[in-house]
Amino acid sequence: MYLLVNKGQLMAISLAASISLLQGESYANEVEVSGKISVEQRYFFEKPLQSSQLTYGQTSLALEPEFYWQWNDANDSLTFKPFYRLDSQDNQRNHGDIRELAYVHTSDEWELRLGIRKEFWGVTEFQHLVDVINQTDGAEDFDGEDKLGQQMINLSLVNDWGIVDIFLLPGFRERTFSGEDGRLRIPFIVDEHNVNYESSAGQQHLDVAFRWVHSKGDFDLGAYWFHGTNRDPILTSSKSSAVNKNQLGLENTVKLQQYYNQMDQLGVEVLATLGDWLWKFESIYRNTKLEGFWATQAGFEYSFIGVFSSDLDFGLIMEHGWDSRGEVTLAEVGSPLQNDIFIGARLEFNDLQSSNTLMGIGSDLDHNAFTLIIEASSRIGDDFIASFDLRLLQSNEENDLLYNLSHDDHLQLSLVWYF
Amino acid sequence: MIFKKHLIALVSLVSLSLITCEVYALSTAEQTGLDISIESKKRDIGWQDSTADMLMLLRNREGQESVREMKIKSLEVQDDGDKSLTIFNKPRDVKGTAFLSFSHPVAADDQWLFLPALKRVKRISSRNKSGPFMGSEFAFEDLSSFEVEKYTYKYLVDERINQLDNYKLEQYPVDENSGYTRRVVWLDKAEYRVQKIDFYDRKNALLKTLTFRNYQQYLGKHWRAANQAMINHQTGKSTELVWSNYVFKTGLKDSDFNRNSLKRAR
């Protein structure tokens, strides 16, 4: 067990704390407490690929309270959102993070945000290509949706021609991974103590990003430039352990070392709202010492409102992912989504319980790899949400990243209490 | 040559005026309906901005109840539809979710939703205007600001309801994406306040009735109903809105209705 706090975060904490002290006694504002506690049960249908991995069941409990203060007519605020998960099987999933600890000052034409925050960019559903600020909390889940808090100084300027955001990102967060006991991971263990950086500043490299977003009529547009540490690590077997390297799939103790290079990335996002259609486009160009490549994720969402003269809303989503590097093997650096198609169907029941379901299929058009997810959730009483997630992962290609997860089909049930 | 050009111009001018004549050749009932609606809109001009708390009580046919709690900030926009920011407080799982809407007289409204768990701003398809708002009996279009250009009108008759003398008129939505063929509206003669609306679905069958109660006047001019009750005749479900803490001219500006304010709304 460990709590992920580094120097940069400590700086952010003390900065935020001193600002909150500055607010003085004259504003004795009450703290607003809310949050959620969730219980989650995973059930895997098959025996694992590696014998060290857990067999069938995995239970976990997660806490995420939120403390919020505001003063000066809500023009100043402080948010603190810690997170902790306890897992019955995977030691690496016993982990905590400060999702948010940020001071925000708002003025008419600008906003200053200091501290640890989460910033999401993008318009597509099945892959978040342009989303680059926060590191992935990979121990949480394999889908990359969960993010670690990122320390930042963010100045946001509001203009008639759009909002410009300037980000200074001191302190880099290393990705988290499932542990040896965990499922939904590559066959080798990622060594969290063997991490190297291209930059001599290592984890202390100051990353920067400039972003512009604007809504004009039916179009939402965004573009940015990011310069700094690549959030995606290059994983290689470490020299010392390479000697004992066994064949893939066999028992092994080879650990992977992480290498984070420097990158420049340009990103654009376009969303066109044309009647029943939402057209979505995301693209990046990433340049590192190793390579330069393009990737896009594009598609549409079509909504049927009130199908069969009922309250049901039905949404059809189709997206395609492309990467200029093409097909890659496990040993190469690349993207598993080089020519992949995604089809999703969303159903909103518009009932008292806000029930909804989402079904998604992802398929690699270059070789045989396939994923199917079915998600359903509904409110119970006033403060609980129950959800059901089924994930089926299939691949016949041993070189495919998904192959390593092909024994990890599972059902996940969760109950979340909001307070 | 010159003559020909003039002739073309003359002909097109004549045909243009013929078309305009046709558009504006309203019957007496249509003209009266339009005049009443213009007067009703005119009487509320100048409220500038407002904030209010709204409680939404949802009941299904079985009598099960569910409560939604939200805060609404609105900005009056001259020569266009109003802007509004709705911030959800309950149910707790949607706390911090915020909804930004720029309504337009004829064009589809621009709408964005902020999802706090993902920190994501999502655009909503403009087609959703006929869809239910938060699982209630109110469609998105029922909560959008009233603009004269959104309907064509027909005055029907004078009728006494809610112990008041009313004008009863029909409104026909201009937008083909509307969930209604028509709305029958009662406006009281003294203050031009909406007292009741009957909504007719796409098959022209009575779908819902909305009644307004407990009108209060603010700044000596602007009337707002504290209670709005919507009954769905086809499903037996109902939704009641209870408004409180209305404050006008709070100093809200255009900058309080953008992507940044959507993300920080509490």
Domain harbouring A293, CATH code: 2.40.160.10
Q: B135–A352: do the CB atoms touch at under 8 Å?
A: yes
Alpha helices in A110-168 (DSSP H): none
Q: B131–A313: do the CB atoms touch at under 8 Å?
A: yes
What is the predicted pLDDT for the residue at B8? Answer: 54
For residue B128, the chain A residue with the least C-alpha distance is A305
Q: Which two tokens stand for residue A370?
A: 């396939």
What is the predicted pLDDT for the residue at A19? Answer: 53
What is the predicted pLDDT for the residue at B1? Answer: 45
Q: Which one of B66, B108, B112 has the shortest CB-CB distance to A352?
A: B66
Q: B125–A303: do the CB atoms touch at under 8 Å?
A: yes
Q: Which of these, B226, B52, B79, lies nearest to B147 by C-alpha position?
A: B79
For residue A128, the chain B residue with the least C-alpha distance is B120
Residue A115: phi and psi, rounded to 5, are 125, -155
List pLDDT tens digits, range A19-28. 555 544 444 4
Q: B118–A77: do the CB atoms touch at under 8 Å?
A: no
List pLDDT tens digits, range B183-207. 999 999 999 999 999 999 999 999 9
Long-range CB contacts for residues A375-383, cutoff 8 Å, separation at least 24:
A378/A353, A378/A354, A379/A352, A379/A353, A379/A354, A379/A355, A379/B91, A379/B93, A380/A353, A380/A415, A382/B66, A382/B67, A382/B90, A382/B91, A382/B92, A383/A417, A383/A418, A383/A419, A383/B91, A383/B92, A383/B93
For residue B96, the chain A residue with the least C-alpha distance is A34
CA distance A402 to A338: 13
Amino acid at B253: K
pLDDT classification of B180: cutoffs 50, 70, 90: very high
Contact between A362 and A342 (Cβ < 8 Å): yes
Q: Which two tokens stand for residue A72?
A: 């000066």
Is B58 in CB contact (< 8 Å) with chain A?
A: yes
Please give the mean pLDDT across all residues of chain B. 90
> How near does any CA of chain B get to the CA of A108, in Å?
6
Could you list the residue range(s) of the whole structural domain that residue A212 is in? 2-418
CA distance A71 to A25: 11
Percent of chain B with pLDDT strictly greater than 70: 91
List pLDDT tens digits, range B81-100. 899 999 999 999 999 999 99
pTM: 0.87
CA distance A66 to A85: 15
Overall number of domains in chain A: 1
User: Can you name the residues that pair with A38 across neighbouring β-strands?
Assistant: A62, A416
Q: B266–A275: do the CB atoms touch at under 8 Å?
A: no
Buried b (16+ CB within 10 A) or exposed e, A349-388: bbbbbbbbebbbbbbbeeeebebebbbebbbeeeebbebe
Instruction: Give SS3 for A14.
Output: helix
Alpha carbon A224 to chain centroid, angstroms: 19
Pairing of strands B65-75, B222-232: unpaired
CA distance B122 to B120: 6
DSSP state of A21: H
pLDDT classification of B26: cutoffs 50, 70, 90: confident
> How near does any CA of chain A get to the CA of B160, in Å?
34
> Read out DSSP for A163-203?
EEEEEEEESPPPPB---TT-SSS-SSEEEEEEEEESSTTGG
Q: B255–A419: do the CB atoms touch at under 8 Å?
A: no
What is the predicted pLDDT for the residue at A244? Answer: 45
**pLDDT at B48 > cutoff 60:** yes
Sign (positive/negative) of CA torsion A234, A238, A241, A245? positive
Q: B93–A383: do the CB atoms touch at under 8 Å?
A: yes
Q: A305–B127: do the CB atoms touch at under 8 Å?
A: yes
Cα dihedral A8, A12, A14, A15, rounded to 10, equals 130
Domains with residue ranges and CATH for chain B: 40-264 (2.50.20.10)
CA distance A273 to A270: 10
Instruction: Give SS3 for B45.
Output: coil
SS (H, E, C) B141-163: HHHCCCCHHHEEEEEEEEEEECC
Q: Which one of B92, B112, B127 has the shortest CB-CB distance to A383?
A: B92
**pLDDT at B3 > cutoff 70:** no
Q: Where is B7: in which H helix or E strand? A: helix B2-24
Neighbours of B67 (CB within 10 A): 13
Q: Which one of A275, A301, A305 has the shortest CB-CB distance to B130?
A: A305
> How many angstroms separate the first and last alpha carbons of chain B?
68
E-strand stretches of A354-399: 356-364, 369-380, 384-395
SS (H, E, C) B170-231: EEEECCCCCCCCEEEEEEECCCCCEEEEEEECCCCCEEEEEEEEEEEEECCCEEEEEEEEEE
CA distance A214 to A200: 37
Q: Which residues of chain A have pLDDT under 50?
A: 1-5, 23-28, 241-247, 249-251
Contact between B98 and B119 (Cβ < 8 Å): no
Is B91 in CB contact (< 8 Å) with chain A?
A: yes
Q: How many CB pairs under 8 A join A and B?
A: 105
